Chain A
Amino acid sequence: MIKSLTIRGFKSVSDTTTLDLGAVNVFIGANGSGKSNILEALGVVSAAAYGTVDDEALDRRGVRLGLPRLYKSSFKGHRLLPDIYFCAQSDAAKYDISILNPLENPEPAWEYKTEGLYDGDHAVSTLGIRSSKANFPRNRGLAALKIVDLPDDNPAAELLRTLQDFAIYSPNTPTLRGMISETQRRPVGLTGGGLADAVQELLGSKDEDEKDIYNEIIDLLDWVESFDTATSASTILSPSVARPKRVLRFTDRYMSKNRNVLSAYDASEGALYILFVALLCNLKSGPACFAIDNIDQALNPRLVQRLMQNTCAWIVRSGKQLLCTAHNPIILDGLPLGDDRVRLFVVERDRSGQTIPRRVTITDKLRTMAQDKGWPLSRLWVMGHLGGVPDV
């Protein structure tokens, strides 16, 4: 698990900023406060850990593509730093990089100014401008090659693999419905493509934990009697609708038999978002660490509260790590923040515009306020008492 992430000079995170992460990390803040920039910072580290920071590698991880002048922090009155620095640490390993690309005539791939992978105090791989590896391409990472020689359970190798697999997911309804195809990732695409295949993976799983997920999903979908997938969809889809090879089917428990099967195209979008989150959190084929931007979209407040509670339990059970952004205040009231593995961060911009993430610590007094006096975190957040609200 990634225990901390340090960012310097990336987009709106200008000064050196370190986040101490838990298993579930929820970022709230005003629109434009820089929440997604934090997720994207980890996306850039992921690409670097894989060995190349170029548009293709960034795009595959859900990072919005941009020119160096947009990636490098550039605030009024501040000196523009030539490089962007990141550091990700687990309990026993560290990976840090600083990358370069000129503002004028940028190269397709960023250069590695420095790269270091450490197993405790031992340097597994180091790369620097003045290093002796003169023939090694400047736009390639060395750590990705070095871990081939390490045992699977080596902490540095584990950290690098976790970073390599990281991606930012931003589901959208047309893709979840199967109307738009996208480059496939396992278990689902970054915007929700291939949901039916992922559901089939769950249904065919022999893993006992994964078998439980089916019931836990059904429990969240009050109108659904069952769900499965089919390869022939002619009875439930209009011939005019473009379809993928496999389609998702929901059985509506209120409708008459033989007329109660809906495809993803017709089903409630909320059900699709629930499935998407549940599959990502639970399927072992998915990344060990991932992010979901706007985890609360398209969901009823009570449903999103339950989903977040389930998500926390799923993540802890599967041993994965989640970073997500949210806007619905009701989420805060459902988060088990008494558990140190679940962390809430408020993201704000200071007067100069720099993004400052801050962990919200729940004191006994705040807990009493919520439980005994009817002042839950959702109300405090909207009133501004937790910060992270727009000036409107």
Chain B
Amino acid sequence: MSNYRIALIAEGKTDKLVIEAAIESILGHKRFSVTQLQPDEGAYEIGRGTIDSAHRSDGWNGVYRWCRDTHKMGSGSIEGTGLEDFDLVIVHIDADVAGSTYQAANIADNPTNDLPCVQPCPPAEDTVDVLESVLKTWLPALMTTRNVIPCIPSQCTESWVAVALYAHTDHEITAGIECRTDLADYLSTRSGKRLIRKHGGLPKKEFARYRAAQGMISVGWGTVQQYCPSACKFSKSVQQVLTA
């Protein structure tokens, strides 16, 4: 039985878990493995890193840095990057990145300065489309390669999680889900799974609980696609590459 090799650069570890659960559902019983990509950490801030900034590959600036590294490496092609052996390469950023600036993420080498790029929501798709264009400027040649696809949940992967886990008991959660910016609060107040807890007023994602919830997210993926166009778009992209 063939094994699909999928590479994923994601904002964070819990995003990876959610995307893996989605792929599990999309591919059904087909075998696959997901390799987590990360930027070349040694290339940044050599000797200047602090304990607080040790995880430089986390967050959307980690995705940005990986894109720039890989763009420089590939010189206009996926060949020679080592990625050509993967069946699928997924580049994830949340749509809420559209509200950020490069300066806020300590990124000084972006030539286009095309953030923020938020569009009125609803519809959520407008922001997703514009952000996808921004993503293409980060990795111009590779993002047009057939097996390299974006994954942009709106506003963030927690919208997919909320629908997968709670839509069957809380019908109101699905209304305008892709424009909601309060899903961390929502998930932190749900009894039982409590995927997010508040610590010092800030949301903290519970990695182990996300991991335990992967199966339920996978089972609920059909519902997620029903209410989240970004999930539907992602599913289609995966299917187009892997089943074409």
Contacts and interface: CB of A to CB of B under 8 A. Distances in A.
A391 B12 CA distance: 11
Given A377-B82, A382-B42, 8 more contacts: A351-B32, A363-B79, A379-B42, A383-B37, A384-B37, A387-B35, A388-B35, A389-B35
A385 B7 contact: yes
Interface stretch (A35-43, A180-188, A230-238, A364-372): A364-372
A16 to B, nearest CB: 10
Contacts of B3: 350, 356
Size class of the A contact interface (CB-based, 8 Å) = 20 to 34
Interface string B13-53: 10010001000100000011111111111100000000000
Contact of B81 (A348, A350, A382, A385): A385
A386 interface: yes
A380 B85 CA distance: 13
Contacts of A382: 38, 40-42
A379 B41 CA distance: 9
B210 interface: no
A31 to B, nearest CB: 14
Contact of A350 (B32, B36, B37, B85): B32
Contacts, number: 72
Most buried by B among A384, A387, A391: A384
B73 interface: yes
A105 interface: no
Given A380-B82, A385-B7, A351 B13 contact: no
Interface residues on B, range: 20 to 34
A375 interface: yes
B80 A369 contact: yes
Interface of A: 15, 348-352, 354, 356, 363, 365-366, 368-369, 373, 375, 377, 379-380, 382-389, 391
11 contacts: A349-B33, A351-B32, A356-B3, A356-B33, A366-B80, A369-B73, A375-B80, A377-B82, A384-B35, A385-B83, A387-B85
A240 B24 CA distance: 61
A356 B32 CA distance: 10
A350 B35 contact: no
Contacts of A349: 33
Contacts of A379: 40, 42
Interface string B66-80: 100110010100011
B69 A383 contact: yes
A304 B219 CA distance: 47
A167 to B, nearest CB: 31
A369 B80 CA distance: 6
The 3 closest A-B pairs by CB, nearest first: A385-B82, A365-B80, A384-B37
B39 A383 contact: yes
Contacts of B175: none
B82 A386 contact: yes
B244 interface: no
A365 B84 CA distance: 11
